[in-house]
Amino acid sequence: MINLRTQREIIKLQDAAKISALALQVAGELCKPGVTTWEIDKAVEKFIISQKAEPSFLNYQGFPASSCISVNDTVIHGIPSKDIVLKSGDIVSVDVGAFYNGYHGDNAYTFKVGEVSKELEKLLETTKNALYSGISEAIVGNRIGDISSAVEKTVEVCGYGVVREFVGHGVGKNLHEDPEVPNFGMAGKGPRLAAGMVIAIEPMINQGSGDIVRLADGWTIKTADRSPSAHFEHTVLVSKSGPVILTKP
């Protein structure tokens, strides 16, 4: 079931989304050479708790951390570790959610560690552009497929691979709600967008093939060809006046 949020609910979602966005900013400031992904996760957790919120991801279906931190060829769901030490030239996708006053916020960003190659710069820029292309289609009267198609068209010209097994989603009292928001598809297809819908749009784009593999830990998703991957995400409100990004710090 797709929920249409009341103004009161939207205010609560805005509050949760703001905490999520600020927590992501905390993570980004720590993405430096020599820092472990465990240290980043603990800083994110500490910040979220300081805001009297709860990390959305901690213990979600058994996930053992407060944020997903995915380095280089890890697409999503990377488990923070004291053994993963960032180095210059890495890219780091951090996915963070906060649960506050009964509602969730959800966002992700792929950060650069020091200077990265031109090829990685292009991957990150293109994936971020794909996110905003999708957001621009989150208009009352459009369909989910309009968002999906906009994302796919932005990246396909570069020959990048779109991850198909994982998609965007509705956000609300639950971290993942209807509708699903794929990063591929045909314009004009899928559920129609209505004012009050709140969705997470999140392109996951691989430099090589879109194929992925799941590691034995049951969580970590890597590119099948071990090419780098980028991930950007915003929680977005569909409103009568156009798309509103809720996860802005």
pLDDT digits 0-9 by tens, 152-185: 999 999 999 999 999 999 999 999 999 999 999 9
Quote the number of domains for the chain: 1
Q: Is residue 2 part of a domain?
A: no
Q: Amino acid identity, residue 15?
A: D
| In a domain? residue 155 | yes
Q: Return the ∠ at Cα 149 (arms to 20 and 189), rounded to 5°.
A: 105
Contact criterion met (CB below 8 Å) for 162 and 212: no
The answer to whether the predicted template modeling score (pTM) of the entire model surpasses 0.85 is: yes
- Per-residue pLDDT tens for 134-158? 999 999 999 999 999 999 999 999 9
Q: At 236, which CATH number?
A: 3.90.230.10
Query: For residues 98 and 51, is the Cβ–Cβ distance under 8 A?
Result: yes
Q: Is residue 233 part of a domain?
A: yes
User: Is 73 domain-assigned?
Assistant: yes
DSSP letter at 80 equals P
| Residue-range definition of the domain harbouring residue 145 | 7-245
| Within-domain flag for 213 | yes
What is the spatial distance between Cα 249 and Cα 236, in angstroms, rounded to a whole number? 14
Q: What strand order describes the sheet that includes 212-214?
A: 74-76, 221-223, 212-214
Q: Is residue 198 part of a domain?
A: yes
Classify residue 204 as exposed, middle or buried by CB count within 10 Å of its CB (0-12, 13-18, 19+). Answer: buried
Determine the pLDDT at residue 249: 81
Find the largest Cα–Cα distance for the chain.
48
In a domain, 210, yes or no: yes
pLDDT per residue over 35-77, tens digit each? 999 999 999 999 999 999 999 999 999 999 999 999 999 999 9
Q: Which of 234, 222, 233, 200 is nearest to 75 (CA)?
A: 222
Cis-peptide, bond into residue 182, ω within 30° of zero? no
Q: What is the DSSP annotation of 102-161?
A: TEEEEEEEEEE-SS--HHHHHHHHHHHHHHHHHHHT--TT-BHHHHHHHHHHHHHTTTPE
Question: Which residue stretches of the chain are H helix?
Answer: 7-29, 37-50, 118-136, 144-156
Do residues 94 and 35 lie in contact, with contact meaning Cβ atoms separated by under 8 Å? no
Q: Is residue 228 part of a domain?
A: yes
Q: Contact 217/79 with Cβ under 8 angstroms?
A: yes
Whole-angstrom distance, CA of residue 124 vs CA of residue 110: 7
